[in-house]
Structure 1
């Protein structure tokens, strides 16, 4: 069933067309990804779809009963409530129904006429069935589940929303939207501010979501895992591709190949016609034929030049000199700020040519470790040794090395004054800054534009050891692909932090996982790292005795082994927790069936003639509801337990 249609949507800003004749439809249960380069109009289109903005022409068709939930890009939740009170407002109607059910249960236990009792039973049956269908017996558990998935725990529930960071407010806005359970979820960059574990949870949640989803995201791994249809906005137009993001890339490449062949063929035909006209228009004997060809030329419907031939970000990284084989050695390092330790006992080594990804949960000290390596932060303990001829190039995700009041041109030229202005402009042109764009102040640039300036400066360094902190942030999908290719061909060494799993999988030749008490190295890409982590979960079934044997067999790295054993014990507890959850869910299912049976009995006509039987069944129903609530509360507690 079609839930929503966009028909011939057009929109312009300052006489410049952004969208022209866009058509899109969303069907029940469909998962749609909307892609396109930065500034192409994706967010504008979402605002038009959700009624936040009006189109210049065209219309949005939507059923009266269809509910649309919209999460704008970086839109934080604004409220004076504490977290729990704000989340529970989503279920105000259910809570009112619950109060009404309790009141009806009390009334049914009081003496009354048969007719009154019959009316109460009918009213109770209808209300109870509606309450159950809407999830009335589990809405608090749903709140806890979603908050937990977004990394808000029991200790956070009483925090005022106004005291949270911008990223936390954005995650909380997503929590509230998910709980409202609209028919269509419209999400603009929902993966911002999410670490890998939270991203994985969100993917699973959305894959099980009963409604339709329309999402804009630069996370290609996320799109591959979720969507089944891609709409691409390009040159103000929109085209539909069936499949996930990887399928779209293949289909798009085939389209471009066909368009390029058609374009080149037409260009040859046009060139022949123009040449014939130029040679024959002035001759009296051939002027009519030339005029005829000119009319043919005027009637030709011109094929547009394929976008692949348009100007895009274009750059590469090189080195001035080659480093030694040993690039970096970190031994027993502790990182943090003052007395606040983020991670300690960090030891690892980097060899020339490696591309090493640094992973770990948010707040564990990944960015702090990079800043400590480059000397921006002092080490709290341990040593950092650079190899011979090592020259570091650093990319800062916060762009703190840019000067807000400086023009784009001088941001590069001031650092490389020996370059000619034309050469600086050429470099900036490769990063899509041309004409008056180079005279813009850094403070006026978007996040993506600042990222491109930082990458331009990094490229000019010709460093042989690149340290990159979230280099794909703010870049559109196509710029990410250019960056990947440039780094893939780079002859030096790379140490990087990223939450972009697609980027991680393509770039990493080794993964270092950072923890509070050291790090663990995995030789391979991101997929290999995930496989090894799954194997470790299986090893959690080993007995404590086996673990102790492992511990005594290898004492060369006591800190790593201690971490290893702690991980295994944690995984064992997680398995126990999951079994307990399954057991409780089985009991809940049985109780819910018994409640349904009691409610059905209360609705039977013969019960109307036996008030005492009705009271007895009502008492049983009340007890079963209390049992269900107790089981749900226990289920919630087990869900929240930290393994």
Structure 2
């Protein structure tokens, strides 16, 4: 079933056309990626499809039952509530159903209703229907669902009571996506949903979206993510849109094949046109052949001319060169600690980085990856230890925040300031390879987009010709084509790389090793991202097996080798737990009897007529229910502990 359809949709800016004649269908189980260069109009088209903006021409049609959840890449959740309170709002309708169920239960328990069989049967029917709907909407598990999604986005219980207004911008963006997933619209429209997510959260989100029941339409520069989620791609290029079946990797293959086929067809037609025109030119004036020439001319006039395939838009093309080779040992870290005194983010960190290696730093947000890079270059002191820099090592640093760019300088001045002896034409040539040509080089830095600033920072890095590049999220703000150009440049680079990235596709292509950071320090894996994932899975499986073996051995030790004192202490603890369980069971029995007593009292005719007394008893009943739930949780925990003896 088609949920949403775009027919001949266009967006115009005066005489300029951003895109036109857009045709796009979203089925009820679609998994669609919208791809294209920065500035092609992807975000604008998403807003039009979501109903936030109107198209200049064309029509958007939607099914009657369509519900849309839209995530803007620049929007975070704003609220004066706590995280838990805000997430509960999503389930207001479920909570209302729960209240209605409780009211119906009281009606069913009312003896007077049995006097009217028809009314009684109707209440039972209403109750059964509502309870079925309640179950379908996960009425008994929605709180667990909230916790699961929040944990997936790295909000544990310690965050639940935190006011949303106290969160960072990145946390608010993650929370906006979490709320959207809990709402479960039948069409998710996501603009760069992977921004601000670390690799573990990306993996969780992939798993969640793979099982999502509704349709998904997204823009993302994360190629690994796209390959995992989507099965069709719409490509916006040169104001037009083209549809491809398959994931992102398949799209790249099919697009290349299409462009190659179009080029062949164009060349074939051009060859035919040249032959026809030559025949006409040679034979039109000759009486014996003029009719055939006229026929060829008509054939030319009727022919539907193919446009020359333009292929892809202009791409950046650059290389990173080195002024001199470094020594074999580039960087050594021995048991260093990073953080901000007295807070240690990660310890101990060890690394022996050799010439021409490319090491990716991975780990959860907040563990100190960027801090480690800044400590190596001397911007932030190590809490413990020092970085040992090797012989003839020249360090070039890329800052993900582009904090080293001068906002009031032009693009040309930014590079010329640090290299005043380089001729202007040489700097312009270099900037041209980073897609800054003509008047573009006179643009002021603070007026540039995020992608343009990233290209300026990379151009500056290329001019330095250092033999050791330290890169902090170098693919941020870059479109997919620019990422691929950067990857190719780094693959060709004959120096050494140490970089932080959440782009798993990028890590896969570049890294020769992965250094994982955690609060407990570093672990090194020799290989790319896929190898790292494979080894992590093997380690987890091995650890689980060791834990099982250890449990068996521990049980054996417990039975056969415990000393007298240990046995005595365990017996004491066991008796204590037995007394606690017995006591809790007595309290639970008392609570059950109390609930039964209150319910019977509430059924008395005189009580049913006394509204205030009925409310008082209901309040008491809810308090006993709450106490019963607490007792049950404590009893379950104590019983489990007792079973371990």
User: Do they fold alike, i.e. is TM over 0.5?
Assistant: yes
Mapped to 1, the partners of 2:257 and 2:43 lie a distance apart of 27
SS, match of residue 418 in structure 2: coil
Mapped to 2, the partners of 1:396 and 1:297 lie a distance apart of 58
Encode CA deviations 1:490-527: one digit per residue, 9 max, x unaligned. 11111111000111111111111112232111111111
Q: Does 1:238 align with 2:241?
A: yes
Encode CA deviations 1:284-326: one digit per residue, 9 max, x unaligned. 9999999998887776544344344642111111111111111
Greater CA radius of gyration, 1 or 2?
Answer: 2
Give yes or no for contact 1:511–1:524 (8 Å, CA) kept in 2.
Answer: yes
Instruction: Give the aligned CA root-mean-square deviation in angstroms.
Output: 3.1
Which residue of structure 1 lines up, in the alignment, with residue 106 of structure 2? 106
Give yes or no for contact 1:32–1:230 (8 Å, CA) kept in 2.
Answer: yes
Encode CA deviations 1:336-383: one digit per residue, 9 max, x unaligned. 223222122222111111111111111111111111111111222212
Mapped to 2, the partners of 1:32 and 1:43 lie a distance apart of 14
Q: Does 1:186 align with 2:207?
A: no
Which residue of structure 2 lines up, in the alignment, with residue 12 of structure 1? 12
Q: How much does 1:111 deviate?
A: 1.3
Mapped to 2, the partners of 1:489 and 1:308 lie a distance apart of 25
Mapped to 1, the partners of 2:459 and 2:236 lie a distance apart of 27
Unaligned runs of 5+ in 2: 552-620, 641-645
Q: How much does 1:430 deviate?
A: 1.3
SS, match of residue 51 in structure 1: coil
Give yes or no for contact 1:74–1:192 (8 Å, CA) kept in 2.
Answer: no
Q: Which has the higher contact order (CA 8 A, sep 6+)?
A: 1
Mapped to 2, the partners of 1:157 and 1:41 lie a distance apart of 37
Q: How much does 1:262 deviate?
A: 2.6
Mapped to 1, the partners of 2:97 and 2:24 lie a distance apart of 38
Question: Which deviates the most, 522-531 or 296-305?
Answer: 296-305
Mapped to 2, the partners of 1:287 and 1:400 lie a distance apart of 73
Q: How much does 1:266 deviate?
A: 4.3
| Structure 1 residues 294 and 445: alpha-carbon distance in aligned structure 2, compared to 1, 3 A threshold | farther
Q: Structure 2 matches for 1:63-102, cutoff 5 A?
A: 63-102=63-102
Q: How much does 1:393 deviate?
A: 1.1
Which residue of structure 2 lines up, in the alignment, with residue 391 of structure 1? 394
Q: How much does 1:263 deviate?
A: 3.2
| Structure 1 residues 286 and 17: alpha-carbon distance in aligned structure 2, compared to 1, 3 A threshold | farther
Q: How much does 1:269 deviate?
A: 5.5
Which residue of structure 2 lines up, in the alignment, with residue 27 of structure 1? 27
| Structure 1 residues 435 and 148: alpha-carbon distance in aligned structure 2, compared to 1, 3 A threshold | same
SS, match of residue 177 in structure 2: helix
Which residue of structure 2 lines up, in the alignment, with residue 51 of structure 1? 51
Give yes or no for contact 1:137–1:629 (8 Å, CA) kept in 2.
Answer: no
Q: How much does 1:481 deviate?
A: 0.8
Mapped to 2, the partners of 1:309 and 1:7 lie a distance apart of 25
Question: Which deviates the most, 291-300 or 180-189?
Answer: 291-300
Q: Does 1:456 align with 2:459?
A: yes
Q: Structure 2 matches for 1:482-497, cutoff 5 A?
A: 482-497=485-500
Q: How much does 1:414 deviate?
A: 1.4
Give yes or no for contact 1:397–1:471 (8 Å, CA) kept in 2.
Answer: yes
Q: Aligned residues, how many?
A: 561
Q: How much does 1:183 deviate?
A: 0.8
Query: 201, 214, 218: which one pairs with 1:215?
Result: 218
Question: Which deviates the most, 230-239 or 424-433?
Answer: 424-433
SS, match of residue 541 in structure 1: helix
Mapped to 2, the partners of 1:275 and 1:407 lie a distance apart of 53
Q: Does 1:375 align with 2:392?
A: no
- Alignment TM-score, normalising by the size of structure 2: 0.81
